[in-house]
């Protein structure tokens, strides 16, 4: 059964347009509360959010909906998405909810959920919630209405958790690090994590005003980080996205490392320190060079569908610990139950510190294949799978690439976009092929 409201990462859209409206979010909160009441006598739900101006409005609606179904609510204020996963588990609560649209602009917002164990919830749970949303409400009596309270020092609790994942035998003393929080949820916790581990920290993208999240800063706009690292002669730069579950890293030479490269560094570090790494999980977008490099080191590599929830599902199925996406969603299940930009950054810095080698040195011999990614905006109701012109062009390019490359066409799970990716050993070939596919997608 297909989902009506949920996408690949919760429910997301433009604020003021269905489904991201106060009335729907009220109904959603009520539906979630009803579903929880089926297995919890008195459920308690944690709500965190990023820094978007709309977060306050949606938080109020969600809180009211949960209370109206007899669920208690705990509010954290702005905190990273992975902080909600951690705090839900640490506080032994029934459910964690994040109000965020991640790397999207401030006009968008969304709702995503974590289980009591701090993990993404399965499709079956989302379908149950969708059925409850469309059902008639069942308001509880006045004596059963849920209560709401705030969690003291949610940010401080999360900072200590992040620090606990970094080796106690190491520190960041002597390093100058630029931290870019994208004016998002990590603005008041990310700099403190690195500072408390000994680094000199330069803050950028840490002044949210409700409207500037992801605007020219953060993991989706790393140019600001590269510039700041150069200006301050820093050793490293760390960029998060709006909800701080995505990571980009820059070294002192201005080289930018994406999630594929950072995943390889995390695997290589564990191997160098005698830890067994039977396998790692990437996605359909993961660069072929990383797959080949891992296989050469005896590490099996498996591709999941695009989306960190699918990487997580594959890791859990196989009992593995490390996975991620080139976009910077990285999973280290020996540290946290979900992708965490801060913890991933600490794992990368830990690898550099205990191996005594730079990131560039750790990636010697791993030369990424050129990739070209073009986003094609889809018209309302447009079915790209029925585009015969695109299908024919896809067939021709597949034959032309042969074993020297690959292509991937997929619809975004969070935006009305068709993502066209071509990977080849030659950059010019990847660029030309991707442009041909994009033109066919538009014309068809």
Which of the residues are catalytic?
A: 102
Residue whose pair of structure tokens reads 């506080």 in the numeric block: 91
Work out whether strand 11-14 and strand 247-251 pair parallel, antiparallel, or are unpaired. unpaired
Whether the CB-CB separation of 419 and 411 falls below 8 Å is answered with: yes
Return the DSSP state at 373: E
Give the CA distances from residue 209 to residues 50, 51, 75, 110, in Å, rounded to whole numbers and listed in that order: 11, 8, 20, 18
In angstroms, the CA 158 to CA 221 distance is: 25
Which CB contacts under 8 angstroms, 24+ apart, belong to 152-156? 154/48, 154/76, 154/77, 154/79, 154/83, 154/87, 155/79, 155/83, 155/188, 155/189
Q: Which of 315, 286, 251 is nearest to 119 (CA)?
A: 315
Q: Which of 188, 196, 160, 213 is nearest to 77 (CA)?
A: 188
Question: Is the backbone peptide bond immediately before 19 cis, with ω within 30 degrees of 0?
Answer: yes
Instruction: Concatenate the DSSP letters of all residues of 122-141 into one string.
Output: PHHHHHHHHHHHHSPP-PPP
- In the three-class reduction of DSSP (H, G, I as helix; E, B as strand; rest coil), residue 207 is classed as coil
In angstroms, the CA 244 to CA 174 distance is: 25
The H or E element spanning position 355 is helix 341-355
The H or E element spanning position 436 is helix 427-443
């Amino acid at each position: 059964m297909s989902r009506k409201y949920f996408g690949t990462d919760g429910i997301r859209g433009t604020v003021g347009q269905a489904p991201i409206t106060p009335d729907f979010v009220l109904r959603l909160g009520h539906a979630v509360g009803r579903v929880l009441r089926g297995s919890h006598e008195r459920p308690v739900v944690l709500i965190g959010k990023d820094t978007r101006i709309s977060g306050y409005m949606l938080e109020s609606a969600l809180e009211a909906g949960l209370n109206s179904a007899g669920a208690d609510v705990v509010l954290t204020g702005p905190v990273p998405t992975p902080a909600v996963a951690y705090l839900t588990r640490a506080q032994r609560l029934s459910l964690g909810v994040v109000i965020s649209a991640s790397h999207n602009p401030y006009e968008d917002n969304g709702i995503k959920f974590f289980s009591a164990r701090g993990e993404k919830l399965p499709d079956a749970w989302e379908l149950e919630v969708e059925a409850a949303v469309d059902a008639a409400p069942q308001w509880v009596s006045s004596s059963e209405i849920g209560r709401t309270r705030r969690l003291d020092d949610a940010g401080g609790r999360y900072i200590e958790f992040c620090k606990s994942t970094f080796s106690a035998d190491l520190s960041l003393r002597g390093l100058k690090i630029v931290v870019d929080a994208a004016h998002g949820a990590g603005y008041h916790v990310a700099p403190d994590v690195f500072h408390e581990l000994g680094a000199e920290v330069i803050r950028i993208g840490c002044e949210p005003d409700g409207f500037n999240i992801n605007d020219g800063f953060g993991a989706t706009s790393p140019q600001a980080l590269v510039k700041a690292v150069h200006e301050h002669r820093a050793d490293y730069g760390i960029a998060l996205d709006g909800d701080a579950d995505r990571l980009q890293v820059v070294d002192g030479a201005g080289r930018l490392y994406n999630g594929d490269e950072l995943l390889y560094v995390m695997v290589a570090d564990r191997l160098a320190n005698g830890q067994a790494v039977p396998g790692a999980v990437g996605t359909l977008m993961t660069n072929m060079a990383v797959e080949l490099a891992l296989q050469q080191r005896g590490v099996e590599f498996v591709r999941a569908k695009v989306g960190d929830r699918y990487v997580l599902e594959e890791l859990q199925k196989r009992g593995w610990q490390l996975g991620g996406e080139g976009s910077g969603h990285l999973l280290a299940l020996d540290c946290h139950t979900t992708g965490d930009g801060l913890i991933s950054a600490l794992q990368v810095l830990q690898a550099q510190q205990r191996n005594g080698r730079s990131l560039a040195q750790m990636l010697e011999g791993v030369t990424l294949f050129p990739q070209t990614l073009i986003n094609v905006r889809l018209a309302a109701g447009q079915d790209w799978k029925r585009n015969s012109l695109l299908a024919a062009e896809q067939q021709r390019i597949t034959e032309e690439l042969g074993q020297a490359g690959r292509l991937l066409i997929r619809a975004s799970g969070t935006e009305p976009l068709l993502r066209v990716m071509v990977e080849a050993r030659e950059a010019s070939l990847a660029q030309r092929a991707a442009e041909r596919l994009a033109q066919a997608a538009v014309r068809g």
